Structures are given as structure tokens and as C-alpha cells.
Homo-oligomer: A and B are copies of this chain.
Amino acid sequence: METTLGAIAREAGVTPAMVHYYFKTRDQLLDVLIDERFVPLRAELGRAFADSDAEPADALRAFAEGLVAVAERHPWFATLWVREVISEGGLLRQRIAERFGDANKKASIARIAQWQKEGKLNPHLEPSLLFVSLFGLTLLPLAVTYTWAEESGGRAPRRDQIARHAVALLMHGVGPLVGPF
């Protein structure tokens, strides 16, 4: 279901023409949307991660929890992220990619690799994939289960369940708990 300008306008309680009055074109509307909505969230997450003095594993856990927290405050976030940001051809994909250049990404990847070298992270992980995994364990389930409620009768997992599940998986994997835990 393509989100039409008319739908956006109706939801905002204005006329389609009004949307154009403010955002000369559909593209500019998207740019503004990104700047005003995505960028702050992204910045917030980035800061949380970068500033962390905690053990690497805890920093990642904090990042995952941060993602869920953000999605909790902004119900549209998870869904929009799946549909428009990561999906091939998503409306925001290219724009987001352009805005958050490679630099940031490379730095993060380098940091993870460094942590692995220091024996602070599972060495079999692929640094360039770790963040995607974190999104896949948090926003993806949030987006997928978002409409489960309507579709199959109200039994969608709660947000905190999703966070706990993701953290459990991140911390120990699927296997039974072993050792001195």
C-alpha cells in the first residue's frame, strides 16, 4: 500500500494542495521527514553507542534496548524503517544512505573489529553485519508483530518482551544457559 500524498495530507488534517504549499515536491517532503524525524533518532542512538564506556557486549545490549525504546516512543518508526529504509527501492533508503555517509559506518565497524581483537566480543561475528543484526532482532520483530494484533486477534508480543528476547539472544544465543550464570 503505497503511501500517497493524499493519505499523508488526510492524516495530517490538511488538503493535498497544502502539502505542496509547504513541501514544494514529494521529494522535499521526504527530505524534511528524514531531517526532522529520522536524523534526531539516529543521532540519539549513535551518541548512546559512541559514548558508552561499558563493556562492548553491554554497549551493544544498550543499543538494542535503545532501538526498542525509540520505537516505543515513535510507533511509526519500526514499520517505516522496514518498509522504506531497508527494503530495496524503499523511499528513504537512498536518502538515508546519502545522509549518513560511509565514514560513520566504517568507524563503527573498525571499533567492533578492534573489540574482537581485544577478546571482548565473539570473534566469529562479522563486524559489518553486527548492526544489521541488531536491527533484525529489534525493529524487524517490532514491525512484523505490529499488525499481528489486528490480523490474528490481539496476541502481539509486547515491546518489552521483544527487548528481553533480543537481549537474551544477543547475550547467550539460543542454547541453554550454561556455566556460572
Residues of chain A at the chain B interface (Cβ within 8 Å): 1-3, 56-57, 60-61, 79, 82-83, 86-91, 97, 102, 119-126, 128-130, 132-133, 135-137, 140-141, 143-147, 151-152, 155, 157, 161-162, 164-179
Q: Does A121 contact B175, Cβ atoms closer than 8 Å?
A: yes
CA distance A172 to B173 in the complex (A): 4
Contacts of A123 in B (CB 8 A): 176-177
Q: How far is the CA of A162 from the CA of B143 in the complex (A)?
A: 22
Nearest-neighbour CB distance to chain B for A85, whole angstroms, equals 10
Interchain CA distance A170-B2 in the complex, whole Å: 34
How many copies of this chain sit in the oligomeric assembly? 4
With beta carbons under 8 angstroms apart, the residue of B119, B140, B170 that contacts A173 is B170
- State how many angstroms separate the Cβ of A167 from the closest Cβ of chain B: 8
Told that A88-B147, A124-B172 touch, could you supply 7 new A-B pairs with CB distance under 8 A?
A82-B88, A86-B143, A120-B176, A122-B168, A125-B174, A129-B141, A130-B165
Q: How far is the CB of A145 from chain B (nearest CB, A)?
A: 7
Q: Are A133 and B126 in contact (CB under 8 A)?
A: no
Query: Are A169 and B133 in contact, with the CB atoms below 8 A?
Result: yes
CB pair A179–B178 under 8 Å, yes or no, is yes
Tell me the complex Cα distance, A145–B129, Å. 9
Are A174 and B164 touching (Cβ within 8 A)?
A: no
Taking a contact as CB atoms under 8 Å apart, the answer to whether B129 and A133 are in contact is: no
